[in-house]
Amino acid sequence: MGSTSNNSAEGVGRRDLIKRSAALGLVAAPGMGLLSACASSGGGGQKKDKAGKKTAKNPLGVNDTAKMEFVLFDGGFGKEYAEDAVKIYEGNFPKATVKFSATQKIQSTLQPRFNQGNPPDLIDNSGAEQMDMGVLVGKNQLADLTPLLDAPSYDDPGKKVRDTLRPGIVEMGQFDGAPVWILYYAYTVYGVWYSQKALDSLDAEYPKTWDEMLAVCEKAKKKGMAGWTYAGKYPYYLPFSLYPMIGKVGGREVLDAIDNLEPNAWKHPAVKACFEAYYELYQKGYILKGTPGLDHIQSQTAWAKGEALFIPNGSWVENESANVIPKDFDLAVSAPSGIDGSDKMPFGTIWASGGEPFVVPAKAANPEGGMEQLRIMLSEASSKNFTAKVKSLTAYNGGTTGITLTPGLKSGVAALQLAGSNVVNPRLQDWYVQLQKEKIGVSGLGEMMAGRLTPAEAVKKIQGFADEAAKDNTIKHYKHQ
């Protein structure tokens, strides 16, 4: 994903870590009062525009003379892709006026308008000032996007919009089952990132089992290169490869149980096996010295310079590290290595999921217009335009033919093709931000990988954190359906 223009010291400046439900990164707690206020109802409200006539070319029944207002988060993806899609809307509805604006201050700009009942028709609710999705959904402030998903797709009237989307996109927009409140437009591939050139120089292939992983790290060590580094100050990056590994070893149901905060979910043998595997990297000296003190940028820079072979990350790393990755690096991503042949899911099982949440407010004057703008953005042409401009995939399942893909993007597409239906999407980082980042990440995995906790102690500690969250009635709890 593209990096935002204001990468914060906390390491959550990238949109993908700050974009989702309640995801205000490490500064979640102090702002919660503001967030609750943002979704309080009240104010006079605005009159709804009359819907237009539904036709084959206008399946959502957009009023072709009504104004449509679209507010975009102005971050690392820029605004050009959205402006281009707006031009298509204007071409299709020449009598309509479109008011388009981009801001980094989503909450402070739009909070008063939600309060007054006159929000825009389409919002990219992203960035450090993202409005809390859970609050918006809980207060009935968002429109159900099912009409958009059930509408004919922009390119093929024989296919519904929902049938053109990548795995997990529809589910991610749900809270406790049906309605779909959010359409995540970007698509992130998480995994183990490396230089294909560096791997070739070791005369090695990407390891599929843990014994192979240790052998590759030993080869690297002999050449003066660490096997791994990671964002030691923000160890919630470790799950980008560790969680899909747990799913691969023990099956999806293990990840679901973890997300559901079930008692003893973290005590599953697959979790124990994967924790022990990662701990072995520490024990055998395969982790770059000083890694626990590095932030995301420092660890990525050391890795780009060839000091370490592997790093767990998301696909935004290509854009974010563009200034330090050498031209001949040959950036690649792979699904995590497994333990051995007894793993429940095949090699290639990977975590990939949506980013950049778009919403249509329930009190929008022209909700049909907002949804139609999204339908246009989910066309092949708009999707290709986004991918070509910002080095990221979209929720549209395709849109890469004919584009010269950057090495990381090309590798991400290949990883998704290899995964097929074996794409997992752990929800912990959407549903329980503080638990995932500060407790499991910093106090659990971070301490274990620094050698200050054994895997058994880490499992016990993390299970304790999950149990606390499950009992905490001040948190809204979610479950896989």
481 residues of the chain, pLDDT tens digit each: 333 333 333 333 333 433 333 332 322 322 333 333 344 444 456 778 888 899 999 999 999 999 999 999 987 788 999 999 999 999 999 999 999 999 989 999 998 999 899 999 999 998 778 887 877 887 899 999 999 999 999 999 999 999 999 988 998 998 877 799 999 999 999 999 999 999 999 999 999 999 999 999 999 999 999 999 999 999 999 999 999 999 999 999 999 999 999 999 999 999 999 999 999 999 999 999 999 999 999 999 999 999 999 999 998 888 888 899 999 999 999 999 999 999 999 999 999 998 889 999 999 999 999 999 999 999 999 999 999 888 889 999 988 888 889 999 999 999 999 999 999 999 988 788 789 888 999 999 999 999 999 999 999 999 999 999 999 998 888 888 7
- The kind and range of the H/E element at 183 are strand 183-195
- Rounded Cα distance between 466 and 405, Å, is 40
- The burial class, CB within 10 Å (0-12 / 13-18 / 19+), for 404 is exposed
Instruction: Report the SS3 class of residue 270.
Output: helix
How distant, in Å, are the alpha carbons of 12, 13, 237, 459 from that of 227? 25, 27, 16, 24
Q: Do domains 15-188+353-410 and 191-351+427-471 have the same CATH topology?
A: yes
What letter would DSSP give residue 35? H
Query: In terms of pTM, does the model score above 0.85?
Result: no
DSSP output for 408-460 = HHHHHHHHHHHHTT-EE---HHHH-HHIIIIIIIIIIIIHHHTTSS-HHHHHH
Which CATH class name applies to 15-188+353-410? alpha beta
- Indicate the residue type of 126: S
- Rounded Cα distance between 333 and 398, Å, is 19
- In the chain, domain spans: 15-188+353-410, 191-351+427-471
Longest alpha-carbon distance in the chain: 71
Q: Which fold has domain 191-351+427-471?
A: D-Maltodextrin-Binding Protein; domain 2 (3.40.190)
What letter would DSSP give residue 477? P
How distant, in Å, are the alpha carbons of 37, 131, 352 from that of 126? 18, 8, 18
- Which residues make beta-bridge pairs with 359? 123
